[in-house]
């Protein structure tokens, strides 16, 4: 049994879990300022959450593969290029 075949049942659930962690981290970025922390503590926590959110998102994209990346890229390019003119 190859290594890829052995770990393939765990790849998708792990990737979805990482996307969920990324989403939670980004939501916490917007909640932290309303909690009672000092300015330096808030800045540190928000920075750590942003980095964690980005890293977990990109690792999940790497685990899901090129087809998912192409879907995301197509969606955002379509959304950006087809905006109505103001």
Q: How far apart are CA 40 and CA 34, in angstroms?
A: 14
In a domain, 6, yes or no: no
The whole domain housing 70 covers: 12-81
In a domain, 50, yes or no: yes
Here the tokens at position 1 are 């049994």
In a domain, 86, yes or no: no
In a domain, 5, yes or no: no
Instruction: State the pLDDT at residue 50.
Output: 96
Give 10-residue mean pLDDT values along the chain (86 residues): 74 90 95 93 96 94 84 85 73
In a domain, 4, yes or no: no
- CA distances from residue 18 to 42, 46, 51, 79 in whole angstroms, order as listed: 23, 18, 13, 25
Instruction: State the pLDDT at residue 65.
Output: 82
Q: How far apart are CA 77 and CA 54, in angstroms?
A: 19
Give the chain's domain count: 1
């Amino acid at each position: 049994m190859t290594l890829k075949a052995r770990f393939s049942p765990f790849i998708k659930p792990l990737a979805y879990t990482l996307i969920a962690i990324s989403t939670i981290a980004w939501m916490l970025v917007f909640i932290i300022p309303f909690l009672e922390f000092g300015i330096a503590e808030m800045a540190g926590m928000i920075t750590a959450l942003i980095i964690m959110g980005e890293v977990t998102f990109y690792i999940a994209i790497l685990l899901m593969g090129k087809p998912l990346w192409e879907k995301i890229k197509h969606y955002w390019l379509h959304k950006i290029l087809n905006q109505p003119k103001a």
